Amino acid sequence: MNKQQQYHVYVISVIMLLLSFSCTPKDQEGNLAVRTKVVLRAVGNDLLLSQNDTTSLVLPVKQISENKYLLSFENSFLFDPAALYAAMDLHSTKAALPSHYNVEVLRCSDGEVGYSYLLTGDADRDIISCEGRILPENCYTIQFTYLEEVAAMTTKRSLLFYVLVFLVLAFLVIVFYSKYHAHRVEIKEQNATIIGSYYFYPDQNKLVRAATEIALSKKECELLVILATNVNQIVKRETLEKEVWEDQGVVVGRSLDTYISKLRKKLNNDNSLKITNIHGVGYKLEINE
C-alpha cells in the first residue's frame, strides 16, 4: 500500500467514525420532542374516543419548556383518569419514551390541578391514585413533564458526545501529523527534493506526484537539478549548456530548448510551477507558494 492509499484509508476511517456519532445530542432531543408530541396527540384522541367523541379536535401540542408539554382540547369533556393512564402507558411504551414523568390534568379556568400522577421508573416510588373517579365535564389541559433525571441524562449524553468528538479530532490530528512527519523524514532519507506538489528524486531520475511516478531522462534530470537549486532565479543559458552538455563538447541545435519543453510538460499538473524563458538570457524555475 503506497502513501496515498494509506492516507485514503485513514480519511475513510475517521469519516466513518464521525458518522457513527452523527446523531448529535440536539438531534436526540429533537427526536424525543417529536415522539412526545405524537404520543400526547394519540393520548388525547383516546381520551375523546373513551367519551364517544369522534368530532371535536385535539389541539396542537405545545412544548412550553425543554421538558414540559401541554395538550389542549377544542371542547369540554368528562375526564376519566383510568383512560388517561392506560393511553399514556400504551403509547409511551410504543414510542420508547423515558419512564420518568409527571402528568397533571389542569382546569382551563383557573389552572388548578384536577388530577395528576407521577412515574419515577421505580414502582415503589410511583404515585397513581383516584383512577376510578371521573372528573365532571369541563375544559381541561394536560401538562406532561419529564423529571429531573431525564434532563440530567440528556446533559450527560451531550457531554459524552462532545468528549467523543474531541477525541476523534485529536486522533485525526495525531494520525495525520505522525504520518506527515514520517513521510517527510522518509523523503529526506531518500534524498528527495520537494518542488511544488512533486517529489524530485535526482538519484533515481524521476518525479513523483500523487503516487504517480514520472520518468526523467538524464538530461532532463540534470537540468531540473540546476533549476531547482536556483528556484526563482535566472540561470543563464551558457551555465545550463556548460553544466549539462560539457562532456559532449558542443550543444547540437536547440537541445536546451527541447529539453526545457519536455520538463514543462512533465511539471504542468501543478499550476504553481512555471519554467520561464528570459529571452536572450536563460531560464527560471518559478514556484508560487
Q: What is the chain's pLDDT, residue by residue, as a tens digit (289 residues)?
A: 445 555 555 556 655 655 555 544 445 556 889 999 999 999 999 999 999 999 999 999 999 998 999 999 999 999 899 999 999 999 999 999 998 899 999 999 999 999 999 998 788 888 887 667 888 999 999 999 998 755 555 556 667 777 888 888 888 888 777 776 666 655 554 678 889 999 999 989 999 998 899 999 999 999 999 999 999 999 999 999 888 887 666 655 578 899 999 999 999 999 999 999 998 899 999 998 7
Cβ contacts of 35 within 8 Å, gap of 6 or more: 95, 96, 97
What is the C-alpha to C-alpha distance for residues 163 and 261, in angstroms, rounded to an integer?
55
Identify the residue whose cell numbers are 451531550: 158
pLDDT score of 260: 93
What is the C-alpha to C-alpha distance for residues 276 and 250, in angstroms, rounded to an integer?
24
Identify the residue whose cell numbers are 414523568: 101
Query: pTM of this prediction?
Result: 0.46
What is the C-alpha to C-alpha distance for residues 63 and 34, in angstroms, rounded to an integer?
10
pLDDT score of 2: 46
Structural domains in the chain, sorted by start: 1-189 (no CATH), 193-287 (1.10.10.10)
Contact between 78 and 137 (Cβ < 8 Å): yes
Cβ contacts of 67 within 8 Å, gap of 6 or more: 145, 146, 147, 150, 151
Choose among 219, 210, 204: nearest CA to 269: 210
| DSSP-assigned states of every residue in 126-144 | -B---TT-PEEEE-EEEEE
